[in-house]
Structure formats: structure tokens, C-alpha cells
Amino acid sequence: MSDLFSSFNSLGLGDLSGVDLYKEKETTVKRPEPAEVKEVIPLGEKDLLFDKTYTCPVCDEPFKNKTVRTGKNRLLRIERDLRQVYTPVDQVKYDVIACPHCGYAALGRYFDSPTRMQIEGVRKNICINYRPQKWGEECYSYEDAYLRYQLALGNAIAKSSKSSEIAYICLKMAWTLRGKREALDQTAPDYEQARKEHEAAEKECLQKALDGFVLARQKESYPMCGMDEPTTDYLLAALAFEVGDLPTASKMVSTVLTSRSASSHIKDKTRDLKEEIVELVKKQAGKN
Ligand SMILES: [Zn+2]
């Protein structure tokens, strides 16, 4: 087992291994390495992709990045922690934009807008050591996607990004691991072990996301990662629930339900979550 930065050596970024994500806590997020279990890429995934051209704000070189044709990808459901599940293409695999020339990578929302200082940070900490990668020719596997998120995370640290940006990357890493777990070959002999390892690693990413959003809530203004305050508070409640922190989940649920600015949609979701918390508390009390 290796940590959140497990592939940094292969990217040429070994120096960033073990760095504190929010400069406050130890980083110990694990990454699963199930040797025998392959993931299944849905038929037709490559037909829904196209190469979008970007110009890198760090090295000024043009490059192409695989992008999903959103009109043809269907939203199946939105999960408790706001993960949007699409079919046939898991959109989260394609959310990182990565320059193949210099190693600059970020989520789409943040790609175009690094400050001069941040560009310097990326040049100093990423570009000089970066080893060019070959991502999937037609589609990205979850392995490719996870590696691209690791690169985006390394860049976010090199840019001294806000906690919310780092937390959002950790959240999407958790969703990547969840998507990968769902796509694992269930007939493989090591499937059960791989499933458990992915679940554990996903939970650690969710915990990192929660830690970051808690910090961001104290220091940053809204909208945060495109979310208004009640939506961010709902997400905090959901993440706390996912990692078993029921006191925080309950506190944030109350905050949303008493908020005057929360939409009826987010209040409905919060009431559903409240029921789940109550059920879980009852279950836990029954066990004791
Ligand atoms: Zn570049």
C-alpha cells in the first residue's frame, strides 16, 4: 500500500511525497493497488469523447485534452455526496486538464486562472522534475484518471491553492475510486479484496475532502467550488456522514435546515440525510 502521492515518483515529482495537504495535518491517504482485478471500460466510451485544444498558461504550448460530449452523456442519479453518475461515460475521469509538455494540471474550473506567483510555484515544483506521461490513446482508464488527479493535487500544493480547491480534488479522487470500484470485474478471484481496499481508500479521500472544506468554510467566501453556502454545508454534512462523524453531520444538517437562503431542493436532500443519520444512531444504540 502506498499513499495519496504514490505515483509521484513515476511523474518525476518525488519531492512532494508526504507533504501536508492543508499544512495542518499528516497526509496518509492510501491508494489501492489490486494486482489481479481489471476494470471494464464501457463500450462506446471513445465515441463520446473529443480532443479539445488548450493553451497551457504555464508553458504557453498548445495541447489536446480528452473531453466528454456532454449532450450525449446521460445523468443517471446524484448520490448523497453530490457525485453525479453519468452513463455511459463516468465524467469524473475527464475533469482534470493536464498539459503533457510541462505537467501543469488542474480541474477545469481553475485551469485558466493561475496567478503569476502560482505559475512560478508550478515551474519550480512541478515543471523542472516532470516526466512526460502517455495517457490512454482513446479513453482514460480509472488508473489514468487517478494519476491525473494526483498530478492536479501536486499542482494545487505547488500553487498554494485555497483549501477548497484541494478539498474538491480530494472529493473527485474519492469519486474516481468509487467509479473504479463499481467498474471492477466482479468475477476476478481478488475482487472482494480489491473492493474493500477501494472502499477504504475512498473513505480516506472523503475524510481529506471534509478536512479541507471545514477549513475553507472558516476562511473562504462563497461561491466555493461553484457551490453556495447551504450547498457547501449540505456537502459537509454528507461527507461527515460518509466517514462516520455523526456529530458534525448532525450539526451541519441543523445549519442547513435553519438557513434562510437554502433552496427547497437542498432542504429536501438535507431532510433525507437527517433521516439516515437518525436511523444510523438508532442502529448504533441497538448494538451497544
Ligand atoms: Zn504546459
The string of pLDDT tens digits covering residues 204-223 is: 999 999 999 999 999 999 99
pTM: 0.89
Residue 145's Cβ-side half-sphere holds a number of Cα atoms within 13 Å equal to 26
| Distance of CA 111 from the midpoint of ligand 1 (Å) | 11
Residue 244 CA to ligand 1 centre (angstroms): 40
68 CA to centre of ligand 1 in angstroms: 21
pLDDT over 80 at 179, yes or no: yes
**Euclidean distance between the first and the last CA atom of the chain, given in angstroms as a whole number:** 33
Judge whether residue 175 has pLDDT over 90. Answer: yes
Amino acid (1-letter code) at residue 203: K
- Going from the Cα of 20 to the center of ligand 1, the distance in angstroms, rounded, reads 25
What's the 204 CA to ligand 1 centre distance in angstroms? 30
Distance of CA 98 from the midpoint of ligand 1 (Å): 8
pLDDT at position 27 is 47
**203 Cα–ligand 1 center, Å:** 32
* CA of residue 214 to ligand 1 center, whole Å: 32
User: Would you state the pLDDT for residue 29?
Assistant: 52
**pLDDT tens digits for range 3-60:** 677 777 777 776 666 677 887 544 445 556 555 677 777 778 999 999 999 999 999 9
| CA 59 to centroid of ligand 1, rounded, Å | 4
Cβ count near 285 (within 10 Å): 8
pLDDT of residue 9: 72
The number of beta carbons lying within 10 Å of the beta carbon of residue 23 is 10
Query: In degrees to the nearest 10, what's the CA dihedral of 270, 231, 200, 22?
Result: -140
Which band of pLDDT confidence, cut at 50, 70 and 90, is reported for residue 1?
Answer: very low
Name residues with Cβ closer than 5 Å to ligand 1, which is an ion.
56, 58-59, 99, 101-102, 104
Distance in angstroms (rounded) separating the CA atoms of residues 161 and 136:
28
DSSP 204: H
Q: What is the pLDDT of residue 97?
A: 98
Give 250's pLDDT tier (boundaries 50, 70, 90): very high
pLDDT at 17: 66
Task: Give pLDDT tens digits for 112-151.
Answer: 999 999 999 999 999 999 998 888 888 999 999 999 999 9
Q: What is the pLDDT of residue 212?
A: 97
